[in-house]
Amino acid sequence: MDMQLRWVLAASAIATIAATGTANAALIASGSIGGAPSGVIRDNLVWLPLGSAGGLSPQSGIQVSFSPNAKAVQGAVGGQYAAPWLSGGNGLGFGSPNQPNGADTTTYATTGSTGAFSNAAVEILLPGTGYQYFGLLWGSVDNYNTLSFFDGLTPVGSLTGSNVVASPNGDQGVNGTLYVNINSTLPFNRIVATSSQYAFEFDNLAFNRTVPTPEPGTLALLGLGLAGLGLSRRRKH
């Protein structure tokens, strides 16, 4: 059985993820061998200039900002970042032609490490307000990768790689990347990706103001946990 399929078939609990502000949202994350659902806004990040300049997307209107040592990259640098791995056709709809299975050959984002630079982060500002769905191709999933959601400056909730797969180990091949779909019970318009170690790599963003209807027959791993202090940390393999 394919390792990703084992992740998908693994069961875990759904829980409320508490934010550190006044808002608390239940973030339902599904790590799937499929991709983004139909009818959502997509952005493949190919417009980003390499490096830390960031910018405004002509594809979707999102604003991407990098804090050192986060940046837009291609390929891989040992010990710092590795390209996400597409599989199961989850590149469908991200580019023309669709992105093929295999190591991501296009531009993607890496957070760098807050262990090396305390403010290392990738910030994604969505156009307007009131979003309840967000998706991304999450590469080499690690338990020290964190995705935090905000409504303006108000924290809504956050999750880590451990909320997506049962035992994230930073696998840089086909078994380490999932397309992760996240639904929120509270609206958000800003997402911040961080990682306490090298690194949190991602590509192929999707978002929507309402929760999309699940695709028929989609296999997904529902995985949630409580976010907060004292998260366990592991080195990327």
pLDDT tens by residue, the chain, 237 residues: 444 433 333 323 233 343 334 455 689 998 766 799 999 999 999 999 999 999 999 999 999 999 999 999 999 999 999 999 999 999 999 998 999 999 999 999 999 999 999 999 999 999 999 999 999 999 999 999 999 999 999 999 999 999 988 888 888 988 889 999 999 999 999 999 999 999 999 999 999 999 987 654 443 333 333 232 223 333 344
Q: Is residue 14 part of a domain?
A: no
> 120-139: string of b/e by CB count within 10 Å (b at 16+)?
bbbbbebeeeebbbbbbbbb
Range of the structural domain that residue 191 is part of: 3-7+22-222
pLDDT score at 235 = 39
Q: Is residue 234 part of a domain?
A: no
Which of 190, 201, 205 has its CA nearest to residue 111?
A: 201
Q: Is residue 102 part of a domain?
A: yes
Cα 173 from Cα 212, distance rounded (Å): 29
Residue in this structure with the two tokens 């049962």, named with its chain if needed: 166
Residues 6+ apart with CB under 8 A from 161: 138, 141, 142, 143, 144, 145, 168
**Any idea what DSSP says for residue 37?**
P
Q: Is the separation of the CB atoms in 29 and 145 below 8 Å?
A: no
pLDDT score at 25 = 67
Q: Is residue 152 part of a domain?
A: yes
β-strand partners of 201: 110, 139
Domain count, the chain: 1
- Nearest-10 Cα torsion for 109, 79, 115, 28: 50
β-strand partners of 32: 179, 220
Q: Is the separation of the CB atoms in 50 and 194 below 8 Å?
A: no
**Any idea what DSSP says for residue 144?**
T
Q: Is residue 151 part of a domain?
A: yes
Q: What CATH number has the domain bearing residue 110?
A: 2.60.120
pLDDT score at 3 = 42
pLDDT score at 179 = 95
Q: Is residue 230 part of a domain?
A: no
- Helix (H) or strand (E) run with residue 149 in it: strand 145-151
Q: Is residue 194 part of a domain?
A: yes
pLDDT score at 233 = 34
Q: Is residue 233 part of a domain?
A: no
Residues 6+ apart with CB under 8 A from 14: 26, 28, 222, 224
